[in-house]
């Protein structure tokens, strides 16, 4: 087949019971969660399988749980002889999964990193003081201009450029509310506050970024064995110092997902697989590039079929 890219989902793709069907068929899934759980000092597979949902949705638990889920799917893909991707990318948190798959960061190291990332993000802004909101049906430039117009002395900025006509904003709660009101006036199809506890990818995350900068400086990072397209600058890096820099910058800057997917497709890579639970990235991707082939790998039958089809045409 022609070249393909593997994409790793971020926060919001978690659910109680995720990957249950894949785990029934492949022991590698449980093994991966148990490995992560040992780092965290909890029974992560029990929590993911049975809940409670509120515990799974705590940012410092969600992030390592999603990392483990994505890496588990990646390992099963490899165990089954899945072909090697030409590019990797991850949505926000998913960048860490991509870097593990690219052998730039050891899995257990990454588990500790993202757990601390979650703790630092949660601690950066007092509960209720920050917010995120989804805006559907307006041009990116219009939303960005509205954010600048209503910010006053507070923070509200584009946080996720998810797909054409779908953008997430983040910042101080009051400023986000002002932006929502203005976006509705401007004709947004939908404008709603998201049920998240952390205003990610905005300047309010500066304390978390500084903490992660110090932690990443002490972390071994190697040159990726597969190019990873990063959220911050839509570029791939071989230099570990450059990788550390973009991982820090992504906490306070927007996730440029639309550009990242288009960069991959513009390179002639039109087969893309979502490696992890859910199909959020497939949904976004079809709005970014309809001509591409999109595959979700969370269930065993689809994963088997994707490997079979893509190997046959290689």
**What are the residue numbers of the active site?**
92, 201
Sheet strands (E) in the chain: 4-8, 87-90, 130-136, 156-163, 166-172, 190-193, 228-229, 271-274, 293-296
Residues 6+ positions from 50 with CB-CB distance below 8 Å: 16
Q: Is the dihedral of CA 239, 242, 248, 251 positive or negative?
A: negative
247 HSE (CA, 13 A, CB side): 30
The secondary structure element, H or E, covering residue 45 is helix 44-50
Q: How far apart are CA 92 and CA 90, in angstroms?
A: 6
Q: How far apart are CA 262 and CA 121, in angstroms?
A: 29
Q: Is the dihedral of CA 223, 40, 27, 96 positive or negative?
A: negative
Q: How far apart are CA 111 and CA 97, in angstroms?
A: 10
Q: How far apart are CA 119 and CA 217, in angstroms?
A: 18
Q: How far apart are CA 30 and CA 22, in angstroms?
A: 10
């Amino acid at each position: 087949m022609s070249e393909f890219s593997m994409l790793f989902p971020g926060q919001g793709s978690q659910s109680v019971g995720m990957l249950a069907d894949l785990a029934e068929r492949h022991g590698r899934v449980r093994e991966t969660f148990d490995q992560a759980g040992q780092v965290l000092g909890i029974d992560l597979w029990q929590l993911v399988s049975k809940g409670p949902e509120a515990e799974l949705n705590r940012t410092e638990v969600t992030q390592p749980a999603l990392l483990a889920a994505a890496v588990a799917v990646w390992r099963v893909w490899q165990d089954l002889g899945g072909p090697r991707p030409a590019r990797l990318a991850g949505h926000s948190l998913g960048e860490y999964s991509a870097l593990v798959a690219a052998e730039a960061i050891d899995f257990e190291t990454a588990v500790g990193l993202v757990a601390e990332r979650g703790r630092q993000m949660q601690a950066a802004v007092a509960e209720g003081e920050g917010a995120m909101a989804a805006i559907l049906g307006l041009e990116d430039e219009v939303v960005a201009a509205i954010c600048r117009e209503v910010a006053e002395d507070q923070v509200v900025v584009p946080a996720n450029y998810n797909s054409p006509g779908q953008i997430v904003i983040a910042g101080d709660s009051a400023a986000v509310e002002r932006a929502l009101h203005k976006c509705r006036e401007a004709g947004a199809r939908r404008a709603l506050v998201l049920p998240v506890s952390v205003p990610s990818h905005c300047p309010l995350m500066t304390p978390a970024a500084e903490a992660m900068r110090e932690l990443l400086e002490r972390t071994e990072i190697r040159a990726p064995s597969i190019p990873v397209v990063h959220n911050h600058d839509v570029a791939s890096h071989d230099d570990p110092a450059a990788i550390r820099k973009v991982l820090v910058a992504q906490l306070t800057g927007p996730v440029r997902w639309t550009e990242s997917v288009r960069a991959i497709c513009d390179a002639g890579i039109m087969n893309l697989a979502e490696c992890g639970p859910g199909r959020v990235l497939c949904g976004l991707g079809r709005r970014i590039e309809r001509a591409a082939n999109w595959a979700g790998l969370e269930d065993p039958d689809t994963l088997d079929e994707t490997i079979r089809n893509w190997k046959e045409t290689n």
